[in-house]
Amino acid sequence: MSAAQPKTSSVAVARPGRMLVVNSDEEIRHLVEKAIPEYHHLSGCAEPLRSMRTTLGGGSATGEVQSPEKARDLNQKLRCRRGRSKRQRMAQVDNRLIHLCKQFVLLHTAFVLCLMMSRTSALCGGNEVLGEIQFVGASKVEKTSGVWVDGQYVGYLKELKGSKKVLLLPGEHEIVVRQAGFKDFTQKIVLEPGQKQVANVAMAKDPQAQYPDITAEVKFKVKPNRAAVFVDDRFVGFVDQFDGPGQWLLLASGKHQVKITLPGYKTFDTEINLLPNQKFELKTDLFKGSIMEAGPLMKGKGAEAQAK
């Protein structure tokens, strides 16, 4: 009679691509202990195998092991939970970043406003020596008119503010505003130190202005485009009025003397000969120069030209 064999349990354990059969609890425990790190590395969660190890370590004689299907289902649920948690964390991070960006924009805007206010205060509010002339025009005609102060062209009306505002020494100053086809607007202003005077400009049409029947179209491509344009010693406007789509200067056919000038730049002087109905483009860049080189700008009495 053969000796009694020790009681063993035979368990089939599924692994990827193969099936292993183990015949003892010791072999099962050894297999589970070896598989836990590998399973944790592949799935990020070893809870199913820890459950197997706990069951075997408790001395169960049946050798029951969770099936691979149950383990996969449990692991899938855990991965879904982990995915939702990760998405929630990412959403929280995104919300914090958006909040920080909004705070940065608000701080940057406040800083720029404070800087602008401090500069304005330094230029005007704290200036007790110079006076300021502020120009106000009701319509486009006034706003695009050229401005002369004491015989010197300073720019067109609507740009004379901010960094281009007119600051003058105290005393009497003569203001002349010109526009082609309109009478000159002239006003004398007395400035006191630290005082601001407002010049309300109103242009009136010149009934003596003449316009040619046969014309040529002249377009200007000049930098800076705020430079004044003179034709035959008469102010006709500034470059920006004649450089865009549908913008041109209408001149009578024949020869014309054209001057383009701006304080701080050398005057450009040329002669053009226009044919009837010709489309002519004048292109150049003004070179930097001294205000002493330019001398006083022209004082025209109107212009035999029409801007469209």
Output the average pLDDT for the chain.
Answer: 75
pLDDT score recorded for residue 50: 46
Mean pLDDT computed over 227-252: 90
For the residues 155-168, what does the mean pLDDT come to? Answer: 90
Residue 305 has pLDDT above 50, yes or no: no
Q: What is the SS3 assignment for 113?
A: helix
Percent of the chain with pLDDT over 90: 38
Q: Tell me what the mean pLDDT of segment 215-232 comes to.
A: 93
What per-residue confidence (pLDDT) applies to 151? 87
Classify 215-307 by CATH class: mainly beta
- Domain spans in the chain, listed from the N-terminal domain onward: 15-66, 131-201, 215-307
Q: Rounded mean pLDDT of 215-242?
A: 92
Helix axes 47-57, 25-43, angle to 10 degrees: 160
Q: How confident is the model at residue 59 (pLDDT cuts 50, 70, 90)?
A: very low
This model's pTM is above 0.85? no
The reported pLDDT for the residue numbered 92 is 73
Range 131-201 classified under CATH 3.40.50.11390:
no
Q: Which two tokens stand for residue 111?
A: 């800083």
The pLDDT, as a whole number, for residue 298 is: 46
> Which residues, in sequence order, are CB contacts of 246 under 8 Å at separation 6+?
308
pLDDT, mean of residues 258-282: 93
Most confident segment among 23-37, 48-62, 87-101? 87-101
- Indicate whether 164 pLDDT > 60: yes
pLDDT classification of 97: cutoffs 50, 70, 90: confident
168-207 pLDDT, tens digit each: 999 999 999 999 899 999 999 999 999 999 999 999 999 9
Q: What is the pLDDT of residue 32?
A: 55
Predicted local confidence at residue 61, as pLDDT: 39
Same fold, 131-201 and 215-307: yes
Average pLDDT over residues 212-218: 91
- Please compute Rg for the chain using Cα positions: 44
Q: Which residues pair with 14 in a beta bridge?
A: 19
Q: Which is more confident, 231 or 51? A: 231
- Residue 291: is its pLDDT beyond 90? no
Helix, strand or coil for residue 20?
Answer: strand
Q: What's the confidence (pLDDT) of residue 273?
A: 95
